[in-house]
């Protein structure tokens, strides 16, 4: 694809910084470079992918806008596949805006969000899964999310999809061969077809399974700290985050709002929420706070039930056990720095098989064990080590689910003794669904929607 217009955008975040980068891509990039850049040395040869030192000057040549380093990267060997000019100027928003205005005066159009990546995709420099990986890499909130984004950018997902495509094409070729040469033949008579189909569906399933785990590393694990008033929920939030995030007092019912913060445990972002203590509410505000707890508990990946080890258990504690028993939870007995008022086996019967930890939120004891238990509870370490390519993107998940359902109908039709046209049809559908992931076959409207969620300048 050749674009007719040349686009420009500030690629670095808004605000002040040491350096700011402005990107220009399109057919006029070279001409604009000559117009606005005055090299320090007279013999500037404008070799591709070389940095040159000089000034950016206004169109009339009278004002120096900044002293910069510029590089011209000639297509097709550039990020977008087009000619690109990159200006490294000083990171002042005023300077960057002035240069951008000058570029617009010289004929550039302001780039839309994601337009550089969209051009890279349309020029075959990246497949769609790689372009999307760029956006998730930029937005990643944990080391693992970065690693997954980088692996996809390097083509890991694209290669897995390509290899699945080849398997599908082979299965389709075998099936179609029987349509062409034999009449009244059932698809199940195609040699070796069923084991192939089973292998494909197993690989699709593995990719789909990776979504839950990868989602934890990209979006984080949602943990709600719950329990009756005064057991130390807010103290635990503060100890886990290392900040005075929530107010701690010995007055029951201090926390009324839903207070959230994020920490990182063994590379996993954990979204923590401190909540109002659950009891019979004493006023409207407390009731609203407690209603919010129930709402959020229903959505949480994990609840931490806090109990006060220094006071006897009460009906409020056991009511929480009863209400939460269907959730995924851990029990933390707090205030273990004080003499204990009850024995663990009192709750073993009420919450059989649950993981119970002893902590002191006030003095930080048992906190590392609790952090480990939070991540162990997700069971991710085991799955991570299987070395499967992981998917993190909802669009990819939906496409893979559709492909898996196509493959399931292929199998059902083969087993039911249908003629080969039926599985051939579903195999083609499965191919189309996989092609949506890499963008081999995709609607322009969907493409525009995908790229419009990217940052400007990417
Ligand atoms: N001794 C002791 N006191 C604690 C501990 N954790 C919290 N507290 C005290 O218990 C009271 C209630 O704590 P808070 O965190 O506000 O409880 P919440 O109502 O569950 O949020 C405060 O006086 C805290 O200082 C602990 O581990 N040991
Ligand atoms: Mg509190």
Residue 215 structure tokens: 């989602």
For 218-269, what is each residue's pLDDT tens digit? 889 999 999 999 999 999 999 999 998 888 888 888 888 888 999 999 888 9
Ligand 1 proximity of 170 Cβ (cutoff 6 Å): no
Answer whether 164's CB lies under 8 Å from 200's CB.
yes
230 CB within 6 A, ligand 1: yes
Say how far apart CA 98 and CA 36 lie, in whole Å: 12
For ligand 1, the distance from its centroid to the CA atom of residue 230, given in whole angstroms, is 6
Put simply, whether the predicted model's pTM sits higher than 0.85 gets the answer no
Q: Which two tokens stand for residue 37?
A: 């850049």
Helix axes 444-452, 128-139, angle to 10 degrees: 20
Distance 286 CA to ligand 2 centre (A): 12
**Contact 201 CB / ligand 1 (< 6 Å):** no
CB 418 within 8 A of CB 387: no
Contact at 8 Å (CB) between 148 and 211? Answer: no
DSSP annotation of 112 reads: P
Candidate of 224, 226, 227, 232 to mutate for ligand 1, largest count of ligand atoms within 8 Å of Cβ: 232
Burial 396-411 (b: 16+ CB within 10 A, else e): bbebbebbbbbbebbb
Supply the residue whose CA is at minimum distance from atom 2 of ligand 1: 335
Separation between Cα atoms, residue 47 and residue 37, nearest integer Å: 14
Residue 362 Cβ < 6 Å to ligand 1: yes
31 lines ligand 1 (CB under 6 A): no
Spans of all domains in the chain:
7-126, 128-439
Q: CATH assignment of 128-439?
A: 3.40.50.300
Give the separation between CA 392 and CA 211, rounded to whole angstroms. 6
- Residue owning the nearest CA to atom 23 of ligand 1: 250
Per-residue pLDDT of the chain (458 residues; tens, 9 = 90+): 667 899 999 999 888 889 999 999 999 999 999 999 999 988 888 999 999 999 999 878 889 999 999 999 999 999 999 999 999 999 999 999 999 999 999 999 999 999 999 999 999 999 999 999 888 888 888 888 888 888 889 889 999 999 999 999 999 998 888 776 666 666 666 778 899 999 999 999 999 988 988 888 888 999 999 999 999 999 999 999 999 888 888 888 888 888 899 999 988 899 999 998 888 888 888 888 888 888 888 889 999 999 999 999 999 999 888 888 777 899 999 999 999 999 888 888 888 888 999 999 999 999 999 999 999 988 776 445 445 688 988 999 999 999 999 999 999 999 998 888 899 999 999 999 999 999 988 888 888 888 988 888 78
Cα angle 274, 279, 281; round to 5: 100
From CA 18, how far away is CA 327, in angstroms rounded? 49
Nearest CA to ligand 1 atom 12: 230
Longest alpha-carbon distance in the chain: 85
Pick from 229, 226, 231, 261: nearest CA to 246: 261
Ligand index nearest the alpha carbon of residue 359: 1
Query: Out of 3.30.1360.120, 3.40.1000.10, 3.40.50.300, 3.90.1150.10, which CATH number does the structure's domain 7-126 have?
Result: 3.30.1360.120
234 lines ligand 1 (CB under 6 A): yes
């Amino acid at each position: 694809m050749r674009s007719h217009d040349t686009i420009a955008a500030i690629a670095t975040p808004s605000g002040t910084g040491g350096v700011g980068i402005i990107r220009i891509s399109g057919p006029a990039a070279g001409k604009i470079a000559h117009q606005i850049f005055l090299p320090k040395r007279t013999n500037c040869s404008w070799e591709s992918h070389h940095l040159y030192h000089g000034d950016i000057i206004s169109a009339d040549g009278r004002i120096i806008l900044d002293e910069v380093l510029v590089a011209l990267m000639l297509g097709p060997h550039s990020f977008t596949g087009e000619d690109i000019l990159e200006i490294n100027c000083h990171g002042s928003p005023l300077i960057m805006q002035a240069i951008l205005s000058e570029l617009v005066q010289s004929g550039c159009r302001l780039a839309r969000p994601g337009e550089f990546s969209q051009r890279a995709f349309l020029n075959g420099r990246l497949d769609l899964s790689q372009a999307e990986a760029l956006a998730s890499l930029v937005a990643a909130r944990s080391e693992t999310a970065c690693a997954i984004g980088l692996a996809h950018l390097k083509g890991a997902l694209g290669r897995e999809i390509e290899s699945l495509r080849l398997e599908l094409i082979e299965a389709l070729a075998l099936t179609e061969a029987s349509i062409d040469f034999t009449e009244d033949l059932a698809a199940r008579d195609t040699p070796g077809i069923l084991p192939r189909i089973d292998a494909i569906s197993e690989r699709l399933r593995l990719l789909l399974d990776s979504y839950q785990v990868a989602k934890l590393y990209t979006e984080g694990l949602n943990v709600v700290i719950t329990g009756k008033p005064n057991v130390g929920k807010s103290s635990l939030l503060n100890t886990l985050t290392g900040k005075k995030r929530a107010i701690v007092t010995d007055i029951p019912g201090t926390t009324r709002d839903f207070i959230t913060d994020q920490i990182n445990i063994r590379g996993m972002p954990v979204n923590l929420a401190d909540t109002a203590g659950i009891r019979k509410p004493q006023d409207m505000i407390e009731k609203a706070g407690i209603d919010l707890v129930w709402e959020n508990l229903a959505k949480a990946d994990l609840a931490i039930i806090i109990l006060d080890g220094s006071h006897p258990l009460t009906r409020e504690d056991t009511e929480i056990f009863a209400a939460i028993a269907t959730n995924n939870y851990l029990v933390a007995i707090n205030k273990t720095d004080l003499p204990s008022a009850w024995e663990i086996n009192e709750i073993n019967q009420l919450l059989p098989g649950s993981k119970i930890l002893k902590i002191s939120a006030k003095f930080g004891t048992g906190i590392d064990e609790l952090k480990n238990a939070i991540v162990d509870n997700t069971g991710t370490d085991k799955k991570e080590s299987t070395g499967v390519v992981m998917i993190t993107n909802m669009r990819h998940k939906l496409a893979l689910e559709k492909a898996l359902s196509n493959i399931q109908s292929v199998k059902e039709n083969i087993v039911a003794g249908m003629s080969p046209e039926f599985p051939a049809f579903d195999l083609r559908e499965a191919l189309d669904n996989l092609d949506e992931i890499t963008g081999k076959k995709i609607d322009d409207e969907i493409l525009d929607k995908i790229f419009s969620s990217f940052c400007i300048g990417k």
